[in-house]
Structure formats: structure tokens, C-alpha cells
Chain A
């Protein structure tokens, strides 16, 4: 009987899982300094009237070409020194506490009493030092995709500078060094690694932050900015920052708006780099054309006056050319199509197996 469809059997299907990685470089010039309108207005930085966080785009955000790349915000818990005794009158303190609580309940979870757990420096939630004052860098899903690949995250930033000098006088690189073999799984938001500076030997107390791989969130302790001799954490962008804005991190964190702290961090950011991961679940369909199958065609040009063009006499072998593979449902609806880059000749002398992979 003439047939044009062939039914798959169990041996014709295979399911695979592939992890695809892309390198994501975010240079400091993207997050500050490139899209400046006038002297201080950065058009790729979006601040909101609620003031809870600051969004960074790779292009002026009013343009449809702009892609959201990350947000920066800051927070500390109610028992932080920032909220108790501040060098300046506290600004947006409830919002900073809310941010910290929101991030910690999402990323660290609750203890047995239902209380929100604070971020822990080494991931051992039973005790040890906590990260109280923190910068939160939340990366867009566009960049993170399914997750950040472990031991690929590196972030360089200036930690301060003496007034009048370059703010990049002192810099630091942090990363999830060694996380491909050592990471934590006690977070309700998935796996996370400890961020260390490039110069230290990782140990329980040398962590400076946490990186949540699936959530795409970096938590950086604000204490990294207190090690600079001058403690300069000026928040305004431009030349005035290096000469006049000499407030230290404590002052900025507690005494200015969240956006000002975000500005201070953003303008010190030198580079962020990581590999993202996309998990591809694939079904491979093996489309097998045996020697005695698919040797004729229903192409209208195949016949001239009902005679097969590619045959002179009946004993000539039939042949046809494959350019397309169609995958069909049980009711013969075309669900997927695959094209080969050049026609494949099919005759009774050959057999073909075309491997069609559909990724989900």
C-alpha cells in the first residue's frame, strides 16, 4: 500500500538534557558614564518614585531597544547599627528594612519560630557572622537565563578613594571561587555560593557576600567599602564626586536614599562577568527511511502524464529527494518542520536516518 506517513516507535525517540552556557560581560561603562545627558542625568538608569531600587539598562530605557540588565538596592535589618545610631538622620529606613527582610525571607527563609533569618556570611545558618548591611544586585532573567554557572561569577569594583583622587584608587574583585565544587543548598531559593575576594583563602569568615545561582541575586556586604583608608563613598556621579563627595559608606547607607547608595555602588563598578546557563530539554526523533521506503514522490513535477520523470523504463530504480521532514500528530496535523540544507537523494539502494532535535 502506498503510504506517505510513517509512525514512530519507541526506539525512534530519545530525550536528552543539555546545559548551554553564555558568557555575560557587564562592563562598568555600561552601568555608569556612557549615557549621560547634561552633566548628571544618566538615561539608562531608571529610578522609581517609590525609591525601593534602581534599574540599569544597557541603553537609554525610554528606547524600545533597551534591555533591562540588573537592579541595585540596599537594605539592613531592624537590629542593624545603621538603623539604631546613624551618622546622619536616617532616610528611607523602613524601606531599607523592608528590602532586607524581603530578600532574606526569599533567599534565606525562616527559622523554626517563623522569624526571618538574616543572611549568613558562610552559609551556616546555625550561627556565625551575619551580613546585616548589604547591597543587593538582582540580575535580569535575560542575562541569567536558568541560572548562573558556578565558579564563573567575578565582580570588580572600587572600594573607595581619597577625595580629589580617582575613586578607583582601591579596587577589589569578588567571585564565587571554588563554588563548582563547594556550594550551599540550604536556601529556599535554590543553590548559592559564597563570594570571596580574589586574594583570600576561602574560609568561614572570609566571605564578603553570597551569590544565589538560580535566583540570579548577588548579596554583597557593605563592609567591603569600609576598608578603604578614606572611606570615600560619594554618591553623586561626575567630577564633583571625586573632589567633594567624601561621605563614607555608613553615612551614605543610612543617611541617603536607596538610589544614592545604588549610585555610589554603580559608579564604582568596574566589571561584572559570569556565565549563564540555559537548560535545554530535547527530544530527538530518529526519522528512518529504510531502503524500501520513501523512494517515490507526490510532487506534481514528479510525473508527466502520470509517468515518473526519473525513470525511463519500469525496471529503473525509483528515486526521490528529501528537503523537508514533517513531524505530525496522530490526526496528521503538522506540529514541527525540519529542513535539510541540501536535497538528500533517496533510492532503494540507500537508507537514511535524519535526527531531528526539538528543544524545549
Chain B
């Protein structure tokens, strides 16, 4: 996409996304625009110099060139503007991977990714791979490993003993992943989550909520100021935990590994791999985290 001409009047370049066109083509009434949101994904707020106070604080931001609209629904609106009634907030919550809580939540440090072993041979049989920190059993989920994300204000200026504002607490998370590769499971590995929808690019979205899915979302009641088990330094909100299970296609064939991945040696074992990511977004604040994931299959 090219940049929009920003030399004159402000113009608005609007397009239907591929998902929008797909729904329109279905003709089943699913193309109905109900909500809107504002996005600012081009903006780098680090360019804001608050101390200038001369009217030039945001000059660089206002000069940011804006690209034409993407039609891919997954490529736009990655960060949204937020409405908060209270204008005095100085701190806002974030969502962070918690790899400190236990080794069961850590990534594979050598490659800096979370590895999901996709079949029995890789996940269970191979002694070199089956008990390594950061290599998850994505075949039958029969291990204690899971992804864990904590939400809260990551600043010691707001003590964790102070409860987080109710309007800043995430009670629902959207977990998105490539449906061809994996699906979402509860952190104990016993039940699959129901997918909310799968878009035209095979990205599956799962909604998990504090009230309906307590095994996935729970309140983080830990208020310890100093603890090695927490990654949120200040007020803590909720925790989101889950597992992912490799798709049958990944378990039983090398088709997607050939098309989307390559080969790698992990723990001296020759394997095929696919690199992807899982996006976890707080529904209330819109804050999102991309978790790097590698699917691994022994050659």
C-alpha cells in the first residue's frame, strides 16, 4: 500500500476487508456493521516529547505518514483507542507473559520461542525433547506446561497491595491463532475451547472470560510487593492461562511443515518446524501480546 497524500485536505480512504467481502458474498445477513473503533497503529508515542511544552510536543507524530487501508482484516486495527471515564489515569495496565511463575511457563531459551511438539514421537518418545523446559506437549497435552499471561499495572509506583481499578481489569481475552496449525485447550489439557469464529485467513478467535471460563481466566490475588513469581510490579488484575494442541494435520503429516516451515536441529534432534505466533488481546483495554510459537516435528 502507498502512503496517503497528506499535503491538503484530510481525506478518508475506506475499503471493505476480505472478511467483509466474504460475509457480503455469503448473503446470510452476517455482513452488518454494528460497532466502530479507532486505531493508531502507525503512531510511535515514543516520539512524543512531553517536556517541550512549546506546541511541538507531537510534531513528529502529526507528521507520521499514513498508509492506505489494508484489505486484510488481520493486518489492521492492531492497537485501538480506548475510552476511560477517568482522565486522571497516569498508569494503564499491560498484559505480559509470565515465565517466572514456574518452569512450566517458560519459553525454550535457546531459540527464544515456545516450542510445541506436535506428535508422539517428538513430544513423548524422544528422550532428548520430552522433558525440556520450553518444549510443550502439543500431541496429547499430557504435561504441566501452559502459556500464562498476567495483566496489571507494571509499575511499582502503584503497589500490588492496591487493587486495580475495576474499569482497568481485563475480564475477557481474545486468543487468536492459525486454525490450520493448532487449537485452544484449557490449561489442564482436558477440554477444548469453543472457537468464536474463523476468518478467511484461517485465523481462529477464541473468547475466554473470567465468569464463563474460570480455568482460563482467573483473578490474580497475589499482592506480594517482592516476589519472583510475578511479572507485574504494581496492581494486579487477572491471569490468562491456556494450552494449545497441534492440529491433526500437523500430527500426522509434513504438508504444512514443507509449505510453511523448514528444518532445524533442536536438542541435537533433527526436526521440521513452523514458526508462528499466538495473539492474546485484552478485550477491555485492547492491549495485545504476540507469543512466538514454534511447532516442532521430529524428522
Whether the pair A293, B12 counts as a contact (CB closer than 8 A) is no
Nearest residue (CB) in A for B50 is: A312
Given contacts A306-B153, A356-B14, contact A323 B35 (CB under 8 A): no
Query: Which single member of B15, B35, B158 contacts A8 (CB below 8 Å)?
Result: B35
Write the nearest CB–CB distance from A196 to chain B, whole angstroms. 43
Query: Which single member of A296, A317, A327, A348 contacts B36 (CB below 8 Å)?
Result: A327
Residues of A within 8 A of B64 (CB): 321, 323, 342-343
B11 at the A/B interface (Cβ < 8 Å)? yes
Nearest residue (CB) in B for A342 is: B6
Whether the pair B13, A341 counts as a contact (CB closer than 8 A) is yes
Residues of B within 8 A of A283 (CB): 33
Q: Main SS of the interface on chain B? A: loop
B48 at the A/B interface (Cβ < 8 Å)? yes
B220 at the A/B interface (Cβ < 8 Å)? no
Bound complex: CA of A33 vs CA of B79, how far in Å?
A: 58
Whether the pair B81, A348 counts as a contact (CB closer than 8 A) is no
Whether the pair B92, A296 counts as a contact (CB closer than 8 A) is yes
Query: Which single member of A294, A317, A335 contacts B33 (CB below 8 Å)?
Result: A335
Given contacts A298-B288, A334-B19, contact A344 B10 (CB under 8 A): yes
Bound complex: CA of A308 vs CA of B81, how far in Å?
A: 13
Given contacts A299-B79, A323-B42, A324-B76, contact A329 B13 (CB under 8 A): no
Q: Main SS of the interface on chain A? A: strand
Nearest residue (CB) in B for A295 is: B87
Bound complex: CA of A319 vs CA of B87, how far in Å?
A: 9
User: Which residues of A from 331 to 352 have beta carbons under 8 Å from B?
Assistant: 331-346, 348
User: Which residues of B from 43 to 93 have beta carbons under 8 Å from A?
Assistant: 43-46, 48, 50-51, 58, 61-62, 64, 66-71, 73, 76-77, 79-85, 87-93
Query: Which single member of A303, A317, A322, A331 contacts B94 (CB below 8 Å)?
Result: A303
Whether the pair B35, A6 counts as a contact (CB closer than 8 A) is yes
Whether the pair A4, B37 counts as a contact (CB closer than 8 A) is yes
Which bracket fits the contact residues of A? 35 or more
Write the nearest CB–CB distance from A294 to chain B, whole angstroms. 4
Max chain B CB contacts within 10 Å: which of A304, A318, A321, A345?
A321
Whether the pair B83, A2 counts as a contact (CB closer than 8 A) is yes
Bound complex: CA of A197 vs CA of B24, how far in Å?
A: 46
Whether the pair B66, A342 counts as a contact (CB closer than 8 A) is yes
Residues of chain B at the chain A interface (Cβ within 8 Å): 4-6, 10-17, 19-20, 23, 30-46, 48, 50-51, 58, 61-62, 64, 66-71, 73, 76-77, 79-85, 87-94, 153-155, 157-158, 166-168, 174, 196-197, 199, 234, 282, 284-288
Residues of chain A at the chain B interface (Cβ within 8 Å): 1-8, 283, 285, 287, 289, 292-346, 348, 354-358
What would be 17 A-B contacts, judged by CB atoms less than 8 Å apart? A2-B284, A285-B33, A301-B45, A306-B93, A309-B48, A310-B48, A312-B51, A321-B64, A322-B40, A324-B69, A326-B39, A327-B33, A334-B77, A337-B17, A338-B15, A343-B62, A356-B14
